[in-house]
Amino acid sequence: MNTQSYDNTIALELGISNRQVLATVELLDDGATVPFLARYRKEKTGGLDEVIITSIRDRVVQLRDLDKRRAVIVASLEDQGALTDVLQRQVHAATSMTELEDLYLPYRPKRRTRALIAKEQGLEPLAQSLWAQDSQLDVEAEAKKFLNVEQGIASVEKALSGARDIMAEWINEHPQARASMRGLFEEQGIVKTTGIRGKDVQGSKYRDYVEWEEPVATAPSHRVLAMRRGEQEGFLTIRIVVPEQTALSLLHRLFLKGSGPESVQVIMAIQDSFTRLLAPSMETETRLFTKSRADQIAIEVFAQNVQQLLMASPLGQKTVLAIDPGFRTGCKVVCLDRQGHLRQTETIYPHQGASAASKARETIVALCQRFQPEAIAIGNGTAGRETETFLRTVPLSSDIPIVMVNESGASVYSASAIAREEFPDQDVTIRGAVSIGRRLMDPLAELVKIDPKAIGVGQYQHDVDQGILKQRLQDVVVSCVNRVGVDVNMASPQLLTAVSGVGSQLAMNIVAYRQEHGPFQSRMALKHVPRLGPKAFEQAAGFLRITDGVHPLDASAVHPERYSLVHVMAKDLGCTVKELLNDADRQHTLDLHRYVTEEVGKPTLDDIMTELAKPGRDPRQQFAPVQFHEGIHSLEQVEPGMILSGVVTNVTAFGAFVDIGVHQDGLVHISQLANRFVSDPNTVVQVNQHVNVTVLKVDIPCRRIALSMKTGSSKNS
């Protein structure tokens, strides 16, 4: 299969045209990024979105890897002299790696197997005679022909046993047999777990999985990953089994041709092949299959959560007083200006007696008078709610919102090389407080500095395939950053790295150039950055914003390659581009059909008009703080029947976790998300969504809270 033939396969799989696939693959191979294609090459891709373009990119990689493996196998078969015309057609027709490896299995170099030993003993002709299942064959007489004491064949049974070993291997290596067994394991397989003796499984978090059984076909991802973790930690053993008689019946239909003595030998070989070779092999494959399936689901759940977290509503460029709360070590207070620069640090001790609390109030009042914060951010970790309660006793303006900020991963950032480089003279708690404040101002700009796995919105993220997870999360980060756009004169190197066509080295070059020459005055000035060539400029320019720049469109998502088109539009209306911006009346008089060309179609023109109406508009929702229930600060204060406000912190396949302000998230099980059946929690809730929940049950020793979002759930609890 060559590149030209990929288009039909991918087009059929994704339900799009061959032309769209070919154009997209060509652009990707030429160095175009997914966000760039989705935004600025709609005419060439036929308007494909990021999801489809990403699917094309990933599928092309899979098909190319398949072809590379195909070439290796063909070369190996040629070297062995085993490449018949039939086998060659089968190899070239294989559409999956599994199918390809099944065809190659009989020819793959092997370790010393029982079948290989039997062949060395000269028993393959006997196996072939039995395999033919000729009813006229005298099995015992035929076997006697192969007696050879020197080869260790001293009896008829020894000869027949060796022949059965050879037939068992033929059965195991038969592509159709493997395909049938694979389907049986996936469709009728049962996952069985048992506790390991000598381990306190009942006292562990895996107690629910002792003597557990579940169909492979319906086992949810979170349970598969939980059971595998229990096995890895030495608490459980996992088996995958199928109905043996069903499996043997499938094999009998494939290989049995009669009912005579020779067929009895084949039946025995079938039994041995299934028990000793096929079943263990298929169990291993099915374990890998269920793991891969669970990984895909868990990774997608994680990716959706990360996306929602990154796209959380920003407070915007406001002065912020941020607090990293603590009891014994005090609360670290920082003051940030509208650009997020650190201006002042203090430590207060509001939870260490009346005198310390009084002094803390004075400090907060003085800081507010000096720096005039437009919001106060408090980390939601230890002492968070208590610190919020304290702040509400401080005589502050009611115009200053006090906001609880999810601090998951802040400690990872504060100990990172990035934080040390920016704040070499500050300790980790001060860096953490800065991160909390910046998260309130712009969650996306701050969270890109942290490994997404450390953000705390995943489901068994450390158990899934790390390579696939990294690629998927990188795609999410890149998608979010480019969807929002980046102020090139304020962005950190980490934020710039995620911009289409930039990468880490160019990001550092942009920042270095900015520091040496001052703020960029135009997008065109980016061309002076070392190593930022025409291709990188093409990919990046539309996503980089310059506020109050030389050209009025530099603050918009209109790509510089279309500036001349907008100038023509403005000239046709007898005005300047600046006058055309935000002038809805003038914009509505434009006849877009006049500007359609081979390169610029209606989709691009519609995007331009959207930008002219609201240049550089942030796609994120307007910020609104969550208000937790006053007086409820700890798990011990929570009681069944309470209706509390909260914010969704994590969405999993089995439900959603909600922060209700007591330092312990509660779980809304999928069955409690709505008064209707819910198959996917993401259709009901999202990370950072504000919700009202009813407390169903509180387990203080296990620190668990069961919540419900059903209407009338307090009556049912």
Position 715 pLDDT exceeds 50:
no
Is the residue at 405 inside a domain?
Answer: yes
DSSP letter assigned to residue 153: B
The closest alpha carbon to 273, from 337, 180, 352, 353, belongs to 180
User: pLDDT tens for residues 423-470?
Assistant: 999 999 999 999 999 999 999 999 999 888 777 666 677 788 889 988
Is the residue at 670 inside a domain?
Answer: yes
Position 1 pLDDT exceeds 60:
no
Which CATH number do you get for residue 54?
A: 1.10.10.650
Helix ranges, 256-353 (H): 261-272, 279-310
Is the residue at 231 inside a domain?
Answer: no
Choose the final residue of a domain: 107, 129, 149.
107
> Is 422 buried (19+), middle (13-18) or exposed (0-12) by CB count in 10 A?
middle
Q: In terms of residues, how long is the chain?
A: 717
Choose the final residue of a domain: 441, 463, 492.
441
Give the predicted TM-score (pTM) of the model. 0.85
Q: Which residue shows structure tokens 């079938």?
A: 270
The closest alpha carbon to 649, from 458, 471, 512, 513, belongs to 458
Is the residue at 239 inside a domain?
Answer: no
pLDDT for residue 3: 46
- Mean per-residue pLDDT, 71-95: 95
104 confidence band (pLDDT: 50, 70, 90): very high
Which CATH number do you get for residue 646?
A: 2.40.50.140
Position 2 pLDDT exceeds 60:
no
pLDDT for residue 198: 79
* Type of residue found at 66: L
The closest alpha carbon to 145, from 133, 163, 159, 157, belongs to 159
Is the residue at 552 inside a domain?
Answer: no
User: How many Å apart are CA 708 and CA 696, to the nearest integer?
Assistant: 7
Number of domains forming the structure of the chain: 3
Which CATH number do you get for residue 369?
A: 3.30.420.140
User: How many Å apart are CA 495 and CA 444, to the nearest integer?
Assistant: 8
Find the helix packing angle between 85-93 and 97-104, rounded to 10°.
160
The residue range of the domain holding 367 is 320-441
Is the residue at 382 inside a domain?
Answer: yes
138 confidence band (pLDDT: 50, 70, 90): very high
User: pLDDT tens for residues 620-656?
Assistant: 988 888 788 888 888 899 999 999 999 898 888 889 9
Is the residue at 372 inside a domain?
Answer: yes
Position 717 pLDDT exceeds 60:
no
User: How many Å apart are CA 533 and CA 486, to the nearest integer?
Assistant: 19
pLDDT for residue 4: 55
The tokens for 173 are 């290596």
Query: Residue 287: how many CA atoms within 13 Å on its side-chain side?
Result: 16
Choose the final residue of a domain: 85, 107, 129.
107
Is the residue at 78 inside a domain?
Answer: yes
